[in-house]
Amino acid sequence: MRITDTVRTILSGYESENPGVRANLARILMQGRLGGTGKLVILPVDQGFEHGPARSFAPNPPAYDPHYHFDLALEAGLSAYAAPLGMIEAGAGTFAGQIPTILKMNSANSLSRLKDQAVTASVADALRLGCSAIGFTIYPGSDDQFEMMEEIRDLAEEAKASGLAVVVWSYPRGGDLSREGETAVDICAYAAHMACLLGAHIIKVKPPTEALELDAAAKVYRDREIPVDTLAARTAHVVQSCFNGRRMVVFSGGEARDTEGLLNEIRQLRDGGATGSIVGRNAFQRPREDALALLGRIVDIYLGKA
């Protein structure tokens, strides 16, 4: 595999990393239909842990089978597949070496009242299963945020020493944050920046809204006339907050909704400079052919074809 100049430029932003980490980042960046472009579309399937099996897979029963998701990501030409331990274990042998995998290291569930997640896997698991990266969620704003940050600090150190890349889901919630504030542009940018500061190679956040949550931040946005009136402008601001684009940032697809609404949102994310999208329920809850068509259109957007 000969990497492109675009990928080489992206990797140059990770100046302290060892060849193993760079190689695994390159594997993700060179995989699938977007390989070599510097853009990513990733399939995450951790919703069974988060929401339960019926809520996650009953809309498309073949998706109860872990092999279904490996195969969907492969056939759609995606960049990587992310899932918790058991899901990856269930297909690791059959699909070994065929698509980069991201082991989701912590998870919440809908039975808990806590704004926290349990660590459910290890770096040794990721190495044993041939993963290219570990994934970890933090909840900036929650009462448990500092413990989560300390956990990812230790896991990231171990992962990087083992040559694995680190992906951080940075989802503000809990504490004094309002529901609207969880996706406010100042909070999304702050959360993305914190993930960079924690050493993430790839950052995942939700698409930011025009809302401003913190009074002190709102004053700066107004005084400095930071544009937040379009999703493309807000995306550009989040990318800027990720070390001025030196870190890759992908945006979640969110809850299942109509196709055109999702695609229009992704076009604005692309126009704002997003590295890509990480789309789960919007894809795997649809019948297979519909999911492939949707993922194909998303990839086409990042290829500049739609």
Task: Give the span between the Cα atoms of 104 and 167, in whole angstroms.
Answer: 9
| Cα→Cα distances 95→65, 108, 112, 291, Å | 14, 27, 33, 20
Q: How far is CA 297 from the centre of its chain?
A: 19
| Cα→Cα distances 226→22, 174, 238, 247, Å | 34, 26, 11, 21
Nearest Cα to 210, choosing from 187, 190, 193?
A: 187
Helix ranges (DSSP H) in the chain:
5-11, 19-29, 47-51, 53-57, 66-75, 85-89, 123-128, 145-161, 185-197, 215-223, 231-241, 259-271, 281-284, 288-302
Structure tokens at 216: 């002190």
Nearest Cα to 300, choosing from 267, 260, 256?
A: 267
Task: Give the span between the Cα atoms of 232 and 266, in whole angstroms.
Answer: 9
* 39 tagged catalytic: no
The answer to whether 130 touches 162, Cβ cutoff 8 Å, is no
Query: Among positive and negative, which fits the CA dihedral 12, 17, 19, 24?
Result: negative
Task: Give the span between the Cα atoms of 158 and 152, in whole angstroms.
Answer: 10
Task: Give the span between the Cα atoms of 183 and 177, in whole angstroms.
Answer: 10
Instruction: Find the catalytic residue in 39, 115, 160, 204.
Output: 204
Show which residues are catalytic.
204
